[in-house]
Amino acid sequence: MSAPEEEHHEEFEAVGAGASETYPIQCSALRKNGHVVIKGRPCKIVDMSTSKTGKHGHAKVHLVATDIFTGKKLEDLSPSTHNMNVPNVIRIEYPLLDIDDGFLSLMKEDGSTKDDIKVPDNEIGQQIEEGFAEGKELIVTIVAAMGEEHALSFKEAPKN
């Protein structure tokens, strides 16, 4: 297999500073598995279909999406030529250093720590805590969008 995993973590500006939180796109150009803002929430599109107001009407796009942070299902119907906002979703992987009082302590690229992400209150959170307690080296993926951040997944750091 390849050389030991070298994780390069690009330096990102904090979400909200500089980069816009969202970007407008024409509804018909959205894709399944892509992202979209519905009712002010950043979502991942799980299903997309077009419908019409009557057989000879103009296409409308029916979107079914899940909130990327809460997993809640949201739906929207929009004319295909209208614009919708797409959230800028940033994913960054951090090695996990510690868990302190319900917060993850993560190592940034420059060696400093990032301590403002909560251990998620779900199965992933439990697994992270268990894995950490067993002394595994974990890499946690933090997803950020529209000013929110969340630990969404993790994996065990590849061994040499």
Partner 1 sequence: MDLPAVHAQFEQACLIFSQPATRKEGERIITRFRSTPNILPACKYIIEHTQKDDVTFHAVMALKEAVVREYSLHPRADIHAFRDWLLQFVSSRVEQMPGFLVSTICHAVAVIFKRGCLDESPQEKEAFFKGITAMVNGAMNERQVALSVFSALVDEFSSDRASAVGLPYNFHVKSRKTFEEGELPPVFLIVVQILQHLMSTGTAMRDEKDVHLLTTCMEVLSKCLSWEFVSADDNPLLGSLAPNSNYRARARHLGSFPTSWRDLLIRADFIDMFFQLYHMIPDKTWRLAEKVRTCLIQLAGVHGAVFQTTDQEGRIVEDDMVQRSYIGRLLQNYLKLVEGFMASDPFNSVNECSDELVCITSMATKIIQTYRLRVIAAVPEFLPFLNELGKLNTACYAIKGEDEDFWETGAHEEGDELLDLWAQLIEQAEDYAEEQVALRSTGHNQQDFDLPQLNQFLTVVAYHIFETYVNMRLEAAKHSIDDEDLGEEMTDDYMYEEQLVAVGIIARMDPEKCLGKLQQLINDRLAHVQAIFNGNNPQTNAMPYLSEHLHWLALFTGHILAHPSRGEIPEIPRAIMAMSARCSESGDLAVSLATTLMNVLDVVSVDADSPKLEFCSPLLTETLLWFVERWSESYLFVQTGSPTLDRAFAPQFGGPHVLDFVLRVIQETFVIWHGEEDLLMQIVNIMNTYSKREAIRNSLLTSDKFETLIGYFLGNLDRLPAGVHSPLIESITTIASKCTDVAVKTHFFTRLTEALEQRLISVLHNPHFSQKYQDSEIIQHIVGTMELYSGFVVAADETNTKQIYAAVSKYFDSFVQLLDLYRNHTDVEKYILQIFANLIRCQSFEELTEADCDKLYAAVMALLKTYAKNTAGRVRMIRASDDEEAVEDLSCIFDILAQLMASQYEGMTWEETLAKRKSRSGTANPGQPGSTGPDVAEVVFYGVGVVAPLVTDQMLQFPELCKDYITLVGNMVRYFPDRLSALPPTLLAGLIQALDFGMHNVMVEVARSAFEAMTTLALFAWDEGAHPVGVSLDFLCPHLDKLLTKTLSMFLFMEFDSGLMDSGGEALFALTLARPQTYTAMVHHLVQQQPAPVFAQRLEAALLGLHGSIAQTLQTPGNADRLRAARSEGLVAGPWLGPYRKRLESALMDVRGFLRVK
Q: How many CB atoms lie within 10 A of CB 120?
A: 19
Two tokens, residue 133: 């307690």
DSSP letters along 9-37, please?
Answer: ----PPTTSSS-SEEEEEGGG--TTSEEE
3-state SS assignment for residue 124: helix
d(CA 120, CA 112): 22
Question: Backbone phi, then psi, for 130, in 5-degree steps?
Answer: -60, -50
Nearer to partner 1, 24 or 102 (CB): 24
Q: How far is the CB of 158 from partner 1 (least distance, A)?
A: 5
Q: How far is the CB of 121 from partner 1 (least distance, A)?
A: 20
Q: How far is the CB of 56 from partner 1 (least distance, A)?
A: 3
Residues found near partner 1 in the complex (CB under 8 A): 1-2, 5, 10-13, 19-20, 22-23, 25-29, 31-35, 49-52, 54-59, 79-81, 86-91, 93, 139, 141, 153, 155-158
d(CA 86, CA 53): 25
Nearer to partner 1, 115 or 156 (CB): 156
Report which DSSP code applies to 120. P
d(CA 107, CA 137): 12
Nearer to partner 1, 3 or 101 (CB): 3
Nearer to partner 1, 97 or 124 (CB): 124
Q: How far is the CB of 101 from partner 1 (least distance, A)?
A: 28
Nearer to partner 1, 28 or 113 (CB): 28
